[in-house]
Amino acid sequence: MVRNKRHDKLFTGLVFGTAAYTLLMVGLVAFSVTKGSLDIFTEEGIQFITGSDWNAVEGRESFGAYPYIIGTLLSSAIALAIGVPISLAIAVFISEIAPPRIGTPLSFITELLAAVPSIIYGLWALFVFRFWVRDLIEKPLYDAFHGYLPFFAKTPFGLDIFTAGIVLAIMIIPIISSICREVMRVVPDSQREAAYSLGATRWETVRMAVFPYVKSGLVGASMLGLGRAIGETILVTMIIGNVVGPSAIPTSFFSQGQTLSSLVANEFNEASSELHLSALIALGAILFILTMGINIVARLLVKKKMKVSSGAKAQ
Amino acid sequence: MNSSNNYRDIVQETVTKKYKKRLFVNKLVTIFTVVCVIAAIVPLCSILLEVVKNGISAISFDFLTQPQGSIGSGSGGVAPAIQGTIIVVGLASLIAAPIGVLTGIYLSEFAKEGTFPYLVRFFNDVLTGLPSIVIGIVGYVLIVLTLGSFSVLAGALSLSIIMMPIVVRVTEETLKIVPHSLREAGYSLGLSKAKVTLRIVVPAAKNGILTGIVIAISRIAGETAPLIMTILGTSLFFTGITGPVDALPLRIWRLASQPYESAHAFGWGSALVLILMILALSLGLRYLVLKRSPYKGIA
């Protein structure tokens, strides 16, 4: 019995220790990011966020992250604008429309899509998909609108913010749609049955009985997708065009751009000075704060929904 | 008589008209959802098709066993990258899998409620959402700067931070499904909590936990961004855990940015090798491990 107790204590200590390790890791990430970017923030201050010069030549060093923040936000916004409606539609199809015979294999396929490494998305986007985008989407848009709408006014080339946004959308669709599906599953069937019994069509049931019930969960799912899109690195690096300095501020959807993460990936191994490295790590720091904030809000939204609904189910 | 009939007709007509419109909208939405599903499947098919089509012609015995020849020559292979991926991912898994599983056990068996487990769970989720390139910074600042060299160790640490939260999540979820009666049976025999957990609950959930670990390994095997900042990538074989090493995703990226056709072919070849490795891992799990589990079907 005594031995049992000692075992228990030891084991409890062990699992508690590993749990503490998880928290320690978050601390380590925050610590490393802060330590690495300290140099540049003491050198440039707030200028680092608002400036748009990027000059690594010794003696004339000047770093500003503004164009890449804009590039990150714009490419992610395009990804969300395309990805969210499609993800929702897929979730609705799988969980509300398709019979399990079709729905189950389909959800397996979308999971498979989530398992493809982003480097392979990148390879495919660079050598295959960008030509589809250029010829099938960008050229027609350019031909139709370039006279009137400034954001389509640039001869499309295929390596630009728009392409990056579309490929990001493809990448986040499986993530968003599987969380949406999960959230929609907690809607009690009585909710649907009530709508059907009033004579609602399937779409009306989804729109008026399912969506409102899990609205915050769906928003949370989209935000998790946004977090992924903002942080995605290698895929974006391969197709966004990689320009540096003030010209990286996009003037149209078809501008070549740069995101926070792609600039880090591009220049990290060629960084010539301490300050340059520090500036690159500071881009990571901005990403860290951005995604941390988005994630925290998103998790709270999804979690709240799950909790409320499991309470409702128990009744 | 006549006018009331007329009135009924009008009502009937508007109702049918509205109803038809609603049915039409319903049909339209259904079609839209189907189109979206197809739109999501097309890229998957195209990716697999292109990787297999372009990759298969690049793969040869030399490709799998030789280091890279001179740039642009199209000779040699990507063996150091294959070796590096196995070493870095293996080492990361050795760190992350035990810690992840134990943390999952803590959350599910030892501390369901309270501030500390809540914090662990919450920040574990937050960790899942952090961009991998940010996690690469940890390996760089803590290990590369300390050792003064890009190293396997730094890469493994970074990848383990990406892998751990996934394992924690899956372990916790799986352990939760294990029926309570199993635990009670253990306690009624006078077993300690540690014994009940390790001998009864965890074995019952073995399949789910192993599947989670394999999913997490496949996830980190495809990571590129953190490796740029930690293992650097070389064209040489492994020299020690404090030295730089190559990895497949990193090699694919470098090859894709070279202007040579032969480099691109190598890139596709490497992509195929990477996919096959991930596939082999999950198929291996399915056929070698899961089939033999005595507790099939519980979790």
Query: What ipTM was estimated for this complex?
Result: 0.89
Q: To the nearest whole percent, how much of chain B has pLDDT over 70? A: 95
Tell me which of B29, B56, B83 is where a domain ends. Answer: B56
Is residue B168 one of the residues assigned to a domain? yes
| pLDDT above 50: residue B70 | yes
Residue A216 reports pLDDT greater than 70: yes
| B34 and B123 housed in the same domain | no
| Predicted confidence band of residue A43 (pLDDT cuts 50, 70, 90) | confident
The confidence score (pLDDT) of residue A2 equals 66
Q: Same structural domain for residues B190 and B130? A: yes
Query: What is the domain extent for residue B278?
Result: 63-292
What contacts A245, CB < 8 A, 6 or more positions away? A52, A53, A54, A55, A67
pLDDT at residue A315 is higher than 50: no
CATH number of the domain encompassing residue B71: 1.10.3720.10
Q: Answer yes or no: do B95 and B197 share one domain.
A: yes
CA A5/CA A216 separation, integer angstroms: 46
The more confident residue out of B8 and A222 is A222
d(CA A78, CA A156): 16
**pLDDT attached to residue A55:** 86
pTM comes to 0.90
B50 touches chain A (CB under 8 A): yes
Are the beta carbons of B40 and A232 separated by less than 8 Å? no
Query: Same domain, yes or no, for B50 and B108?
Result: no
Q: What is the DSSP string of A32-57?
A: HHHHHHHHHHHHHTTHHHH---EE-S
For chain B, what is the domain count?
A: 2
Query: A interface mutation test: which of B29, B50, B134 has the most A CBs within 10 A?
Result: B134
Cα distances (angstroms) measured from residue B99 to each of B118, B166, B221, B223, B285:
18, 11, 19, 20, 20
* Residue B141 and residue B31 in one domain: no
> Cβ B103–A109 below 8 Å, yes or no?
no
**What number does CATH give the domain A67-314?**
1.10.3720.10
Looking at residue B291, its pLDDT comes to 62
CB distance from B288 to chain A under 8 Å?
A: no
Residue ranges covered by each domain of chain A = 2-50, 67-314
Mean pLDDT computed over B91-96 = 96
Question: What six digits make up the tokens of B106?
Answer: 């803590």
* Domain match, B121 and B181 both: yes
CB nearest to A118's CB, from B102, B116, B222 = B222
Of B18, B41, B56, the one marking the end of a domain is B56
Among chain A residues, CA nearest to B161: A25
Q: Do B26 and A124 touch (CB under 8 A)?
A: no
Give a yes or no: residue B40 inside a domain: yes
In this prediction, residue B288 has a pLDDT band, given cuts at 50, 70 and 90, of: confident
- Portion of chain B with pLDDT greater than 90, in percent: 64
Asked if B104 and B241 sit in the same domain, the reply is yes
* Chain A partners within 8 Å of B193 (Cβ): 8, 11-12
B197-235: per-residue pLDDT in tens?
A: 999 999 999 988 998 999 999 999 999 999 999 998 888
Q: Looking at the structure, do residues B144 and B84 belong to the same domain, yes or no?
A: yes
Asked if B135's CB is within 8 angstroms of A8's CB, the reply is no
The whole-angstrom separation of Cα B267 and Cα A160 is: 22
Q: Is residue B298 part of a domain?
A: no
Do both B71 and B208 map to the same domain? yes
Q: Is the pLDDT of residue B252 over 80?
A: yes
The answer on B76 and B35 residing in a single domain is no
Check if B120 contacts A (Cβ < 8 Å): yes
User: Do the chains contact at A21 and B123, CB–CB below 8 Å?
Assistant: no
CB pairs under 8 A between A and B: 253
> Measured at the alpha carbon of residue B187, what is the angle toward residues B185 and B193, in degrees to the nearest 5?
130
